[in-house]
Amino acid sequence: MAVQELKLQTEVGRKVLELRHELEWLSTFLRDADRRRRQQEPDVDLLEVWVRQTRELAHDAEDLLDEFLHRGELHCHGCFDLPSFLRWLRHSAAGLFTRHAIFDDIEEINTRIQHMKKQRKEYNLEKLSSFSKPHRKQYTDWSTLTALEIEHDLVNIEDHKDIEEWLFGETTGQTVIVLTGKGGIGKTTLARSLYRRSDISKRFKCTAWIHVPHKFRFVDLFRDIIHQATAGVCGSEDLGREQRQGGTAGEEAIEKKLADALQREKYLIVLDDVRSREEWEFFLAALPAGGDGSRVLVTTQIKICDEASTEQPAGPGDGCSYRRLHTKELKKLDSQQAADLFCKRVYGRDKQLLTPEKEKQRKKLKDLVDPVTKGSTLPLNVVMLAGLLRSKNGDEWKGVIDSLVDTLDSGEPPEQTPATEEAGRNNNSKQTPATEEAGKNNNNMKQTPATEEAGNNNNKKKKQTAARIRKPMSTENILTACMDDLPPHLKPCILYFAGFTAETPIDAGKLLRLWVAEGFVQPRNGQTTEERGEECLKELISRCLVQLVETDAAGNLAAVSVHQVVLDFVQAEAHHTNFLHVHSSAAGLSNGAARRLALRNTYDSDLSVVLAAPKLHTFLCDIPEAERATAGDDELWQRAMAFINGRGQIFSVHASRFLRVLDLKGVQHHHQRKLPEEIGRLIHLRYLGLAHTAMNELPKSVRKLSNLQTLDVSHTDIDALPWRFWHIPSLRHVLARRLTAGSAPDDHGVLDSVQTLHGVPWGQWARRGAAIEKMTNLRSLMAWNVVATDHDLLSALGRLECLRSLDLEGAEFPLNLLAMFGLRQLQYLTLRGRVSGTSETTSYLLPNLAKLELYNSGRGQDLIDVLARLPNLAELALGEGSYVETELKVPAGGFPKLREMRLSNLDKLTKCAVVGAGDQGDGGHGGVLPPRLKHVSVFHCKKPMTIFEGLPELKQSTMHRSHELKKLLAADAATIGNENGAGAAPDRRTQSSVLT
């Protein structure tokens, strides 16, 4: 028996390896079975039962593999021979029983696998096709895709001149514009294209974009409008206190503050995706009338008004007394419009289609796509079809379109289009005697086998062509084809979007960290896992399944989103395959079979998180951000009531021992500011997100999370990490607001995998030969209290050759930081402190620096002359105390790539100018703007300022006035009025040169 037990113990590793191989085969069959299910093939009901049971078996096998790797201190990871087994036995006597239990579980799963194979054969399900075409390299490169995703390149505004006139025309009173139409018709794209116009900030003093989710509270949306419309001027403490009041009093307080923010101001508010008439009526009743020319732009699928233009009484307030209502129903694309949009999505800007070769290819594309888009077509369908074909070579396109047409449901009623109506009238027209005689002759002709074959082929082709003309492709069919065409590693990535909200920006960096923690992406070709994940996200954008919302100054992904139609499809697919379930409340979170849960659209931030699902791997939470309560009377009252009345368990996760991802963003437990110690039992946990929570302390057991990759405690009061936290070997990302000196990395930590380090204090770890030299993979560093000599600072940073982002706060920094060879990959730099050194630097400057922010640098024109030579600087922000002179002059030929400049809290600055090539010193201003500069923003500067006066090339300039500047301008206006008389006009030169 002892020999048998020894053999069992040493064979566990081999059994696990066999199980891993079997799991790969199961995953392959499941992917093909899902494809058959989506295409509604025969025996789909029987197939669904088998797939559901097989998927549950695969999940159990996956959990068992995790158990083998991490449970019971299994240090030898295999024990394929006797010496390694004995070495393991010395480390853990309990491992003997653990391996015995794992061996029994493997045998049980193998028995279930054999049973599933037998059932598949008995029910004739063994002929699942495993053949799939190889996925070739992405057809369109990323450089053309960046410009391609901008909405104004896709929307032909010439087709919507009436909407543009309603939005920007000079009118009195309030105007409401309603864009209606089916989902995917392009309402949001058109509204976003208008909202992002460069002259919006000049036409409207207050702007706000609100996407209306399925479930919401009006109070939350009103708070969002206030924050956007007032640009953070409104007191957040007041808003937080009003929200905590709750009930009617809290709602009335929010509505009053909304009226104060918008009354008498000319505003533009976009309400995207209003779903009911009740919502519509409440919004219009609550929004104040505002100043003359105010606009409300609404997108909706419901029919608001039968008339195109009407007048109604305006909202509350003493502004305008009536509103104009304009309704525009967007129509589907005709054949030519669909073909043009398709070509734009495939090839990018029109200038790429001007060559003769491209023009021929464009015509060929139109002929190819025309049968599919015949008649009326949704723009979303064309965009997704282009994304599907863009991932393939041109010789594959016809086969893809033919397969899409073949999968159209024969039971679907044909959609009547102008082309089909014309064809029907022609077919039903009265026959003439000549056609009748011809028909008789044809019928009386003797059919030979050759003519029968030819006739059958002709009839088949006619039927296929007629099917194409009768049935334009549906959105569901295209989405199904897009899902089936995805490579295996991209399918879980797109399904993961089911846990997010439609048309809402998703932070790309956080999404990639979640994908890595889930194990969806694996590194290859020397890339990090995050870099490989970014490639996957770009491919989903290229396939038009994910929308690009924003790129940063260096052109990297910053934010993405998903269309509501795509989200509905993905959520249904994720639910059907038990990939992810979405809940709108904390009730029902203990779903025993759920693998991933997402809590969205909840109303209560102070909820209880009790997870008792034994198979749960992921819990995502995103509560609407609310102001945290201060440690005052409200919190003391809550604690007292909890002590008197008793309170049930509010946080428990120990039952979900396989948890990999735990993101509690927005959850507020004001009377429990610390996670329980049981969090340390989650040995599989890889992602712990506590951002925007009320937590102020981490339990000591966090250091036991041996597989933790990401800790996100940003926007919290947590300022300390447990002892030996930096010894976690898998640690990759630490995001904090500001940690204490005792929480800095130590020399004994395992830091070679760390890529992100935010909120750490500068200290001994950053000296020569210390922990910083282990951080060879560091990509982003944000440190405060930087106290070091110039030599020590440059020496420490010079070894971080992978660094992309650097944010330092300290007393003084050398100007030579901009000329370090070791930081040649740096793209983002923020310095919060004095910049010292002369302007006579080397001709070499950071070649990849795209964004620079300076605060309290205390420099003047000499610093600007140096910065102007940065070859790829796209964004420049000069904050408080960064420029101490009255005039800022851009050197001739300087800032060749600069697109945006932001000036804030510069008390002395009164003028920005461009120096011409022949100007000397304080000479004239005959130069030209940097060729790419489009936007200059000024925030809270005390004095009136002229920005590049007389240079019309500047597309957008914005000034956010401070209270001091408003008083100064009012005093100047009163002085001018007293001097010139009541009827005199103000000085037009001064008025035009001051941003308003």
What structural domains does the chain harbor?
A: 2-122 (no CATH), 148-329 (3.40.50), 344-408+468-485 (no CATH), 486-579 (1.10.10.10), 581-629+648-716+732-737 (no CATH)
Residue 977, pLDDT > 80, answer: no
Three-state secondary structure string covering 944-985:
CCEECCCCCCCCEEEEECCHHHHHHHHHHHHHHHHHHCCCCC
Binning pLDDT at 50, 70 and 90, where does residue 530 land?
Answer: very high
More confident residue, 744 or 156: 744
d(CA 229, CA 247): 24
561-577 average pLDDT score: 92
- If one compares 425 and 987, the residue with the highest pLDDT of the two is 425
The pLDDT of residue 265 is: 85
> How confident is the model at residue 956, as a pLDDT?
59
Specify the pLDDT at position 316.
57
Q: Poorest-confidence range of 100-114, 176-190, 378-392?
A: 100-114
Q: How far apart are CA 915 and CA 893, in angstroms?
A: 9
Q: Which of 375-379, 521-525, 635-639, 641-645 has the highest mean pLDDT?
A: 521-525
Q: What is the CA radius of gyration of the chain?
A: 33
CA angle 349–355–359, rounded 5-degree value: 80
> Is residue 778 pLDDT above 90, yes or no?
yes
- Distance in angstroms (rounded) separating the CA atoms of residues 369 and 356: 20
> 569 falls in which pLDDT band (50, 70, 90)?
very high
What mean pLDDT comes out for the span 851-855? 97
Q: Which residues contact 341 (CB under 8 A, 6 or more apart)?
A: 154, 333, 379, 382, 383, 386
| Of 594 and 234, the one with more pLDDT | 594
886 — pLDDT class (breaks 50, 70, 90): very high
Question: Cα(866)–Cα(873) distance, rounded to whole angstroms?
Answer: 12
Higher pLDDT, 272 or 640: 272
194 pLDDT tier (thresholds 50, 70, 90): confident
Name the pLDDT band for 705 (thresholds 50, 70, 90).
very high
Rounded distance between C-alpha atoms, residue 263 and residue 319, angstroms = 7
Q: How far is CA 22 from CA 19, 51, 62, 452, 593, in A?
A: 5, 16, 11, 51, 22
Element (H, E) at 687: strand 687-689
Instruction: Classify 981 in phi/psi space as left (phi over 0), alpha (psi -120 to 50) or beta.
Output: left
Across 239-243, 374-378, 717-721, least confident range: 239-243
pLDDT for 2 beyond 70 = no
pLDDT digits (tens, 9 = 90+) for 609-634: 777 677 888 999 887 765 444 444 44
Span 400-413, average pLDDT: 57
Q: For residues 900 and 875, is the Cβ–Cβ distance under 8 A? A: yes
The larger pLDDT score, comparing residue 221 to residue 70, is at: 221
Is the model's pLDDT at 302 over the cut of 70?
yes
| Amino acid 533: pLDDT | 94
Confidence of residue 192 (pLDDT cuts 50, 70, 90): confident
Q: Is residue 726's pLDDT more than 90?
A: yes
Residues 121-152 pLDDT 10s:
666 665 544 434 444 444 444 444 444 344 44
Asked if the model's pLDDT at residue 410 lies above 50, the reply is no
Q: Which of residues 612 and 978 earns the better pLDDT score?
A: 612
**In sequence order, what are the residues at sequence separation of 6 or more whose Cβ sits closer than 8 angstroms to the Cβ of residue 235?**
none
Instruction: Give the global pTM.
Output: 0.80
* Cα–Cα distance for residue pair 720/761, rounded to 1 Å: 11
Q: Which residues pair with 709 in a beta bridge?
A: none
Query: What's the chain's average pLDDT?
Result: 74
In the prediction, which pLDDT does 767 show?
84
Residue 813: other Cβ atoms inside 10 A: 24
State the pLDDT at residue 984.
36
